[in-house]
A and B are shown apart, each in its own frame.
Chain A
């Protein structure tokens, strides 16, 4: 993991001090009030109580004041760290994109990183600052009580140490429940997505009952995992209170036996109850800690991968119509596995090729090699006769436009969504691309034209429109090679057929490689490469 997300900022220390002073003020407020009430009941001259009255007032106002400082400080620190962590993680992800983000649902992986980073950084506010505050408040309380009666100080220390032991056990319980909880949540999402995306197919074979049963089972497991997780927090919150009861008992016995004034005796008896309010947040802290550890290790595991491209050179290309060739290329996503090949392929400019084959036959792997997302394991990938490993990565990628099955629509206006592919494009270019991609009627119906906001918070975009927008980007980019990776995978048959017709129009004259496991669009290519291995059928 990058150093930034785990760095202990000195600013946490200051927040901890403010938080500690707030908790200390709370303890002092209760203690002085207890003393004051008992002293008052002895009916002294009011003037003798003045100092204590002023102190009570001061502590009463100090508590919200310091708490306010602590909150401002800790949240500001956390947000600053979040900004740094986001920036560095984003930069670290670029060389890992797309090959190391998993083969499917990359957007889910990336969304997961966003949430995980928030968890990791929130540990400042939810774990470190509360723990530091508790240390400050406990130290003060132990010193105060020890100064009054040494044995009372020992009780505070012993009690807080037992609370720490309980919190550690709670943390272990929380930690051990995390993997189970993660798996249960993933299973619930999987079944829910299955229902959402394959409703028709499931109903066609009368399997609705089966998936609803699966959902019930997954949710039962999630319930079990959550109940199991709650043991940690319950133990800490219950344990702190029970131990406080024992500490109060011990304090009462010391107060009765010691040679102290009635006011001090009252002070000692109420101190544990006051400090308990400061210790109870440790229950939440242990949960937040376990969560941030889990999230942190997920981010680390993702970022610790080696980029899929090891060899890149500096050679440049001066071509508007490259000739692509694969010679005996094999490739795989993980080190010890070959997912495809050896494959020989000749793609002169303007050639249209479809790659078909069963799931797992390596269609997408081969496309990733062509897209320069993955190095060939053996063999050579030549662009105009030169090995891509000697060429500048961006120079090769600038030749290739990619249309995949998960095109992202940015929360921005239509113009920005298209210009991402070609910042210099004029509005005329953009509109022409939309028409070529079959979005002419859709565009004409937009109330604000290119200024229409899309993406989250903007205008909704259907699956077919999404695929076509991705196609329009490829057109705008004006790149000579278009690589299509299952562009219509999530669309129904009539829409898929129409989109593929538009693909043909939109990519006329360019080199096209289409990966698909569906029949649409296969009838108008020059070549079909079937990667299905020969099983003994």
Chain B
């Protein structure tokens, strides 16, 4: 786990500008801290000398305000960078996910968790850790640089003691490493236990095991507390040791300054500057360590979000999907296609061919389980067979059409070109025979459908999906059992509409309906393969 992975800038260009700006702002903020040390030293000297203190007081005020303003800017910029980085990573992983062929996608659960929680963990990393990291590099360098000019002896002391900090940290880390790793694993399990039994609560309630679990929760939480405290005690002790080390180093600077002051070999202002600048060399480094602890999740998430396995390369669409080479026509060319579900041997499709050019209506019939739906999946590009077909852009109305939670209108507009007006939507509903029904709803097109909304019957769902197909501008429409859930009148309306559509588009419909077969231009019948017959 690296503090900063340059792959982020290389592979996600959208992150470059915000991260760059944030780094500059954090560096400027560090420079302001150095300027403040100069202003304060000058002010104390002037106050002690009863000299022209007003001017140096205004300088000090200015330095404070400058540091404050830059601090505000870093905070605001940090928030901006946090969303810019997490959004870019989330968008990248999700769009690659969409583009990948079904067979190459990782587990949906895992991908969603990574896109939601993983990308969110990047926010504190970008907002807090990155500025701390920049300050941790810039401020010590500036502080030592200033000391070299102002008081070389103090600079020497700082340069000699500064490396002790990381060295000491590494030593503490080394001696406790094995122990800590073991503890972290145990700790992770204990910490995960509560979430696990919480998510499993419905299961535990079902089988009457929940009440017994309360005592387990108490016992495990107590163990978690003790284990965490053991780990924390060590972490806090090493952090206290580092702070003490930094304090002692500053004290050494202060002692030499004090001695030289009593001898009169340096001026008061130089002495003050030395003891104000010296701590600036130490604390930013300790802060990097402290912030990294909180941002480690984000760093891990970035690693996983950039990993090639979470982002299968976008070979997808070009290879088999709607093909750009095919002119925007109505061509479908599936020749001798073979397909077996991932992890199985049996071919669902074995040498199936379907060629259609220009507008018209093709019906596909065949007994249940012969692979009619799989054929449509293949034509739609949802499944990748051994020899991918040549097809134009399609719109596919599945047997159980997908209607997202939301308003009826947003469901109807899904996949439609942006130019469609509300009257186009009403027109599509009228053609499919749903106008009266929707107009009769209290909220009309604004009616909410889905889990907590209005219930549509299976027939209504099918017709909403057909209306959506009318709104799309895809030259090829794939329909899986378009009339299955419809009564006589509705089914006749749908057949008429499909016939009408077939004048301009290529329609491929899987159906059992003789009415639809009767009006078709081409008829493909899929017979069971030998394997299916014998099983």
Contacts and interface: CB of A to CB of B under 8 A. Distances in A.
A71 interface: yes
A37 interface: yes
A318 interface: no
Q: Is the interface of B mostly helix, strand, loop or mixed?
A: helix
A531 to B, nearest CB: 9
B506 interface: no
B358 interface: no
Given A80-B225, A103-B451, A255 B47 contact: yes
A318 to B, nearest CB: 17
Contact of A518 (B84, B400, B437, B469): B400
Interface in A5-54: 33-34, 36-38, 40-41, 43-44, 46, 49, 53
B454 A71 contact: no
Nearest to A85: B221
A508 interface: no
A53 B262 CA distance: 13
Contacts of B71: 234, 237-238, 241
A41 B262 CA distance: 6
Which of A37, A71, A235, A517 has the most CB atoms of chain B within a 10 A radius of its CB? A37
B442 interface: no
B532 to A, nearest CB: 13
| Chain A: interface size category | 35 or more
A33 B254 contact: yes
A335 interface: no
A359 B461 CA distance: 10
A219 B90 contact: yes
A195 B68 contact: no
Interface string A463-505: 0000000000100010000000000000001100000000000
Nearest to B99: A208
A237 B381 CA distance: 54
Nearest to A199: B98
B390 interface: no
Contacts, number: 395
Contacts of B8: none
Interface in A58-104: 60-61, 63-65, 67-68, 71-72, 75-76, 79-80, 82-83, 86-87, 90-91, 93-94, 97-98, 101, 103-104
B247 interface: yes
B196 A226 contact: no
B229 A238 contact: no
A155 interface: no
A456 B490 CA distance: 49
A90 B112 contact: no
Contact of B209 (A72, A234, A262, A420): A420
A245 B198 contact: no
B207 A94 contact: no
B47 A256 contact: yes
Interface in A378-412: 394, 397-398, 400-402, 404, 406-408, 410-411
Contacts of B258: 36-37, 40, 49, 53
A411 B83 contact: no
A449 interface: no
B202 A83 contact: no
A198 B459 CA distance: 21
B38 interface: no
B141 interface: no
A107 to B, nearest CB: 4
B445 interface: no
Contacts of B204: 420
B243 interface: yes
Interface string A202-235: 1111111011100110010011001101110111
B490 A537 contact: yes
A360 interface: yes
B170 interface: no
Interface in B355-411: 373, 377, 380-382, 393-398, 400-402, 404
A71 B225 contact: no
Contacts of B36: 273
Contacts of B189: 411, 457
B191 to A, nearest CB: 10
Given A64-B247, A420-B204, A205 B468 contact: yes
B282 to A, nearest CB: 12
Nearest to B73: A234
A469 B350 CA distance: 33
A241 B67 contact: yes
Nearest to A406: B202
B345 interface: no
A265 B48 contact: yes
Contact of B240 (A53, A65, A90): A65
Contact of B123 (A49, A226, A244, A265): A226
A64 B95 contact: no
A219 B91 contact: yes
Contacts of B87: 219, 222-223
Contacts of B60: 245, 248-249, 252
Contacts of A64: 240-241, 243-244, 247
B307 interface: no
A535 B457 contact: yes
Contacts of B209: 420, 423
Contact of A227 (B80, B404, B452): B80
A163 B78 CA distance: 23
Contact of B202 (A101, A237, A460): A101
Interface string A502-513: 000000000000
Interface string B203-219: 11111111101100110
Interface stretch (A133-141, A185-193, A288-296, A347-355): A185-193
30 contacts: A34-B44, A40-B258, A41-B261, A60-B247, A68-B240, A72-B236, A76-B229, A185-B120, A192-B94, A195-B94, A196-B97, A200-B102, A200-B377, A203-B380, A205-B396, A208-B98, A210-B413, A210-B415, A219-B90, A222-B83, A234-B72, A245-B60, A249-B57, A359-B449, A360-B452, A397-B208, A410-B197, A420-B209, A462-B107, A535-B437
Given A87-B221, A219-B91, A420-B200, 13 more contacts: A37-B261, A86-B194, A90-B194, A111-B198, A206-B472, A207-B414, A208-B98, A210-B414, A226-B80, A234-B71, A248-B43, A404-B202, A537-B460
A-B complex: 7 closest residue pairs judged by Cβ atoms: A245-B64, A360-B455, A241-B68, A83-B221, A201-B402, A230-B79, A238-B72
